[in-house]
Amino acid sequence: MSGLMLVFLVVLIFVVLYQVARSSEMVAQIQGEQQFDKKRNKILGFSMLILMIAFFVGIVWCHEYMLPLMGPEAASNHGVQYDFMFKVTLWVTGIVFVLTQVLLFWFCFKYQRNGDKAPVFFAHSNKLELIWTTVPAIAMAVLVAIGLKAWFTMTGEAPKGAMQIEIVGKQFNWISRYPGPDGELGKKYFLNINDKDNLLGQDWKDKRNMDDIIIPNGELRLVKDVPVELIIGSRDVIHDVGLSHFRMKMDAVPGITTRIWFTPTITTAEMKMKTGNENFVYELSCDQMCGKGHYSMRAIVVVETQAEHDKWLKEQKSYYVQNHPEEFPAEAPIVAPVDSSKKITMNK
To Cu ion, the closest distance from the beta carbon of 323 in angstroms equals: 27
Nearer to Cu ion, 112 or 244 (CB): 244
Dist. CA 328–CA 336, nearest whole Å? 14
CB-nearer residue toward Cu ion: 182 or 251: 251
Q: How far is the CB of 285 from Cu ion (least distance, A)?
A: 8
Q: What is the closest distance, in whole angstroms, from the C-beta atom of residue 336 to Cu ion in the complex?
A: 30
Q: Which is nearer to Cu ion, 37 or 251 (CB)?
A: 251
- CA gap 234, 200 in Å, rounded: 9
* Least gap, CB of 294 to Cu ion (angstroms): 4
Strands laid side by side in the 258-262 sheet: 213-215, 173-178, 163-170, 228-234, 258-262
Q: Which residues bind Cu ion (CB under 5 A)?
A: 286, 290, 294, 297
Cβ partners under 8 Å of residue 73, min gap 6 = 80, 83, 266, 274
* Cβ at position 251, least distance to Cu ion in Å: 11
Q: What is the nearest approach in angstroms of Cu ion to the Cβ of residue 173?
A: 10
Q: How far is the CB of 66 from Cu ion (least distance, A)?
A: 23
Q: Which is nearer to Cu ion, 158 or 290 (CB)?
A: 290
Pick between residue 165 and residue 297 the one whose CB is nearest to Cu ion: 297
Contact 234, 254 (CB under 8 A): yes
Within 10 Å of residue 263's Cβ, how many Cβ atoms? Answer: 24
Nearer to Cu ion, 127 or 292 (CB): 292
Q: Which residues contact 196 (CB under 8 A, 6 or more apart)?
A: none
Paired residues of 242 in beta bridges: 249, 285
User: Considering the complex, what minimum distance in angstroms separates the CB of residue 245 from Cu ion?
Assistant: 18
Distance (Å, whole) CA 127 – CA 88 = 28
Which CB, 79 or 169, lies closer to Cu ion?
Answer: 169
Residue pair 158/227 in contact (Cβ under 8 Å)? The answer is yes
Nearer to Cu ion (CB atom), residue 259 or residue 294: 294
Query: Hey, what's the torsion of the CAs at 286, 290, 294, 297, to 10 degrees?
Result: -40
Distance between CA atoms of residues 293 and 290, nearest Å = 8
Locate all alpha helices (DSSP H) within the chain, ordered by sequence.
2-31, 33-66, 77-110, 126-155, 268-275, 306-315, 319-323
Give the amino acid at 348. K
